[in-house]
């Protein structure tokens, strides 16, 4: 008898683009209901099956028959955790219907609005279309992150706080770092905190007495910081390049009117455009130098010596991975520091793209195991053990934060093989049409 929507086995169905005729086996739940499909892999306690209807289903293993559970144990016995994972599913688009916010002026003169998972506070009145777009972007960003084949903290029961500041002065008074476009501030490892973004970072300006969208309006900074906020309880367990790489990945996704475009062509187009912007700055610099061939550059140790733009804006992965948290400071280093920051943000995004879409033959196996391990341990910090769960091993062993980062990074790469990672990263992106000069 075929499974129905009321069965004890919950089916998570969506269109799959796996081509070809696939052999199938019969699956039975504990009540004797059956369906046919080929096993794609095991993930998060589910057997992921490709059905004869050319759809993909996730079957809770604990609700399968004893014979099926035994078969799955035999299948998994000679496979590593990575080899057991099913191929990831990537949507072409992620759509978020427009949200109409509820709320308005508060007693203290601010304006407060609510969406399903967000509370927005603004210290100046803005047009309804702007606030509705903020909410649509916020809820859409959550959909984008949870469409990725990585494990993230549950959204259930969560309300996130976002403050949109009318000026840079109010932004910095609220805690925004000097020189930053936006920030997520958390006071503890539970993930609680507030997102701050000033009008100028979003392209909001006053027109006819109202704060509304300018021609330069774009929610990139909002998306970036919301990615940090949603993954907040995991952030302290990740090095900066992982946290920023994921946020940049989300922020760089093409977005128009409630739709995020995530197909391969769209993703590569967005990466090409971002890299081309930086490469054009370097070309303009070189053109200015060539236009004045007799001009002698100031000595290297001169205070007047301008910081040169790099030939390659994408850093060698091994170099990026070695950067400390202090290297990511936004308010030190002058122009040279800002150039280095732009390099690191761009490089982090490319490295995250590499692990999600290129490494492991495009099946993202290592990055999925990495996030699964962090998500499992980070959940303890939400209650700090008040729910009776034991702390992660590194808490009892009193490991340093740097050692904790290295502990999880073992899922991504062997430190002794970073040169191989560098070479594969560069080779694969060049094959995709990206210009990456030889690293010095």
Q: What is the pLDDT of residues 211-262, one digit of tens each?
A: 888 888 888 999 999 999 999 889 889 999 999 999 999 999 999 989 999 9
3-state SS track over 72-85: HHHHHHCCCHHHHC
Sole residue written with tokens 């049409």: 433
Does any domain span residue 40? yes
Beta strand residue intervals within 45-159, DSSP E: 46-51, 55-60, 93-95, 102-105, 111-114, 118-122
CA 104 – CA 174 distance, rounded (Å): 21
149 and 249 Cβ atoms separated by less than 8 Å: no
- Shared domain check, 390 and 312: yes
**pLDDT recorded at residue 72:** 94
- What is the pairing mode between strands 160-165 and 193-198? parallel
Q: What DSSP string runs through 187-210?
A: SSTT--EEEEEEHHHHTEEEETTE
- Shared domain check, 215 and 133: yes
Calculate the dihedral angle through the C-alpha atoms of 88, 89, 90, 92, rounding to the nearest 10 degrees.
Answer: 160
Closest Cα to residue 57, out of 77, 95, 29, 21? 29
Would you tell me the crossing angle of helices 264-291 and 334-353 to the nearest 10 degrees? 150
Does any domain span residue 278? yes
Q: Where are the alpha helices (DSSP H) in 292-417?
A: 317-321, 334-353, 365-383, 393-396, 401-409
CA 283 – CA 22 distance, rounded (Å): 51
CATH of the domain at 76: 2.30.30.700
39 and 17 Cβ atoms separated by less than 8 Å: no
How far CA 187 is from CA of 158, 184, 193, 419, in Å, comes to 17, 10, 6, 37
Query: Please, what sign has the CA dihedral across residues 182, 187, 192, 194?
Result: negative
**pLDDT recorded at residue 188:** 65
Does any domain span residue 155? yes
- What is the pairing mode between strands 93-95 and 25-28? unpaired
Does any domain span residue 44? yes
Q: What DSSP string runs through 166-183?
A: SSHHHHHHTTPPTT-S-E
Arithmetic mean of pLDDT over the chain: 85
- Shared domain check, 146 and 234: yes
185 and 194 Cβ atoms separated by less than 8 Å: yes
Sole residue written with tokens 């959204």: 155
Does any domain span residue 404? yes
Would you tell me the crossing angle of helices 220-230 and 240-251 to the nearest 10 degrees? 130
CA 335 – CA 434 distance, rounded (Å): 26
**pLDDT recorded at residue 22:** 45
Does any domain span residue 257? no
The one-character DSSP state at 157 is T
**pLDDT recorded at residue 189:** 61
CA 104 – CA 102 distance, rounded (Å): 7
CA 23 – CA 100 distance, rounded (Å): 47
- Shared domain check, 101 and 33: no
**pLDDT recorded at residue 99:** 86
- Shared domain check, 316 and 424: yes
Query: ∠ CA(360), CA(365), CA(369), 5° rounding?
Result: 145
H or E stretch at 285 = helix 264-291
Question: The domain containing residue 339 runs over which residues?
Answer: 264-289+308-431
**pLDDT recorded at residue 52:** 84
- Shared domain check, 221 and 271: no
- Shared domain check, 108 and 164: yes
| First-residue to last-residue Cα distance in the chain | 64
- Shared domain check, 181 and 204: yes
Total tally of structural domains belonging to the chain: 3
- Shared domain check, 270 and 408: yes
Q: Would you mind telling me the total number of residues written for the chain in this entry?
A: 440
- Shared domain check, 151 and 76: no
The two three-digit tokens of residue 260, written as one number: 């995020």
pLDDT lower than 70: segments of the chain: 1-23, 103, 107, 187-191, 288-306, 382
Q: Answer with the one of 203, 238, 273 that is the final residue of a domain.
A: 238
Q: Answer with the one of 58, 84, 110 that is the final residue of a domain.
A: 84
């Amino acid at each position: 008898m075929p499974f129905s929507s009321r069965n004890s086995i919950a089916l998570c169905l969506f269109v799959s683009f796996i081509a070809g005729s696939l052999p199938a086996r019969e699956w039975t739940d504990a009540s004797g209901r059956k369906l046919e499909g080929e096993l794609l892999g095991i993930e998060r306690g589910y057997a992921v099956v490709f059905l004869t209807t050319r759809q993909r289903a996730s079957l809770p293993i604990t609700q399968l028959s004893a014979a099926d559970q035994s078969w799955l144990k035999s299948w998994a016995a000679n496979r590593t955790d990575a080899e057991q994972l099913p191929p990831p599913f990537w949507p072409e688009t992620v759509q978020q219907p427009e949200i109409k916010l509820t709320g308005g002026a508060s007693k203290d003169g601010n304006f407060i609005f609510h969406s399903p998972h967000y509370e927005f506070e603004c210290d100046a009145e803005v047009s309804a279309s702007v606030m509705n777009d903020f909410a649509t972007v916020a809820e859409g960003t959550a959909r984008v992150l949870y469409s990725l084949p990585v494990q993230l903290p549950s959204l259930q029961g969560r309300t996130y706080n976002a403050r949109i500041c009318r000026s840079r002065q109010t932004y910095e008074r609220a805690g925004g770092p000097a020189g930053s476009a936006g920030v997520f501030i958390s006071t503890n490892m539970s993930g609680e905190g507030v997102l701050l973004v000033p009008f100028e970072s979003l392209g909001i300006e006053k027109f006819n007495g109202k704060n509304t969208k300018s021609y330069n309006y774009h929610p990139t900074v909002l998306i970036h910081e919301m990615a940090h906020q949603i993954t907040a309880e995991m952030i302290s367990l990740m090095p900066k390049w992982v946290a920023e790489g994921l946020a940049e990945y989300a922020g760089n996704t093409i977005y128009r009117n409630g739709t995020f475009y995530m197909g391969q062509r769209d993703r590569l187009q967005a990466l090409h455009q971002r890299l081309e912007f930086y490469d054009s700055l370097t070309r303009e610099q070189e053109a200015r130098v060539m236009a004045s061939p007799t001009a002698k550059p100031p000595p290297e140790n001169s205070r007047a010596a301008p910081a040169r733009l790099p030939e390659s804006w994408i850093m060698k992965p091994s170099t990026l991975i070695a950067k400390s948290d202090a290297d990511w400071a936004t308010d030190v280093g002058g122009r040279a520091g800002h150039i280095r920051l732009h390099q690191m943000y761009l490089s982090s995004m490319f490295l995250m793209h590499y692990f999600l879409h290129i490494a492991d033959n495009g099946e993202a196996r290592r990055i999925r195991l990495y996030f699964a391990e962090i998500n499992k341990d980070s959940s303890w910090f939400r209650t700090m053990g008040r729910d009776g769960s034991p702390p992660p091993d590194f808490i009892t062993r009193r490991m340093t934060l740097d050692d904790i980062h290295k502990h999880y990074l073992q899922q991504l790469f062997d430190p002794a093989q970073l040169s191989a990672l560098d070479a594969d990263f560069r080779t694969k992106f060049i094959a995709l049409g990206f210009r990456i000069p030889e690293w010095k």
